[in-house]
Amino acid sequence: MGLGGHLLWSSVIRRLHEDSGSPVRVGYLPGLSDLFRGELHDASRSIQNDTIFRDNPRIDPQRATKKSRLLIAVDRAVIAALRLLGLLRAYERFIFWLVCQMRHRSGVWHAHIDMRLHSYVRRETPDRMVWKEGGHIIDILLANYGLIARDYECEIYFSPHEEEAVNRLQESLKLTTDFVVIEPHSNSQWFGDLREWSFERWERVVEWLHDHNYPVVQIGEGGRPVLEGAIDVTGRASFREAVLLMKRARL
């Protein structure tokens, strides 16, 4: 699951937090060794520094602890065997049953963001994916917890250091609030050219915005073509800083 999937989970986590009133313990599917130690998450992995979840007060990130290579290998072998035998879904349902029991006993929700049980894909074929029915993806995820979405807003929380970094960037570019942020390049690794819009069209958009006195800031990876007339910030801002810049923009 990538950044988009984690953004969707941020909305789900907010709803779980509203339901319980306690920070949600977010992590990954536990292995057999974790269960023997009374852990409901993979103790060797943590979302503490995740790009989307970092600094989120609604989350109680499960800290990573040292796990021997042997235990990691055993856990992976057990998961692989369950998958091969067609029992992985049953294992996940057992873990989720434990999650629900913990919610009733301690008042705290646990969330495993890598569970296939929570996938919004119903079936995958060689040429396409068939999505589950039931409304918005957030509706589908929350239905597993017996909850209904109140909205579909996703969220990222920023640290004072990140706020200050973007302040300095804005000052160096002499940007007020009347600017527009553009990223004209599609992620070809995932989508090929399905989402590509010709550069000429983007150039016309920039020209129109300039005619209406809106500075245009281009974000994204460095080393890619930059639109004529755009303020080039490619490669200068992290993903989170770029999101914060978009938050402050007119569009």
- Quote the pLDDT of residue 121: 77
- Quote the pLDDT of residue 103: 96
Question: Beta strands 121-124 and 129-131: pairing type?
Answer: antiparallel
CA-to-CA distance for 197 and 217, rounded, in angstroms? 17
Q: Could you tell me which of 32, 48, 3, 5 has the C-alpha nearest to residue 140?
A: 5
CA atoms within 13 A on the CB side of 216: 20
**Hunting for tokens 């006993």 — which residue is that?**
105
Neighbours of 238 (CB within 10 A): 12
Q: What is the pTM of this model?
A: 0.87
Question: How far does CA 24 lie from the centroid of its chain?
Answer: 15
CA-to-CA distance for 91 and 9, rounded, in angstroms? 22
Chunked in runs of 10, what are the mean pLDDT values of the chain (251 residues)? 89 97 96 94 93 96 89 96 96 97 95 90 76 85 94 95 94 88 75 66 91 91 87 91 92 86
By CB neighbour count within 10 A (0-12 exposed, 13-18 middle, 19+ buried), where does 246 fall? Answer: middle
129 DSSP β-pair partners: 124
- Quote the pLDDT of residue 193: 57
- Quote the pLDDT of residue 28: 96
- Quote the pLDDT of residue 131: 75
Helix-helix angle 88-106:69-84, to 10 degrees: 120
Which tokens belong to 223? Answer: 């080393």
- Quote the pLDDT of residue 190: 54
Domains of the chain: 3-143 (no CATH), 160-248 (3.40.50.2000)
* DSSP string across 66-134: ---HHHHHHHHHHHHHHHHTT-HHHHHHHHHHHHHHHHHHHS--EEETT-GGG-SEEEE-SS-EEEPSS
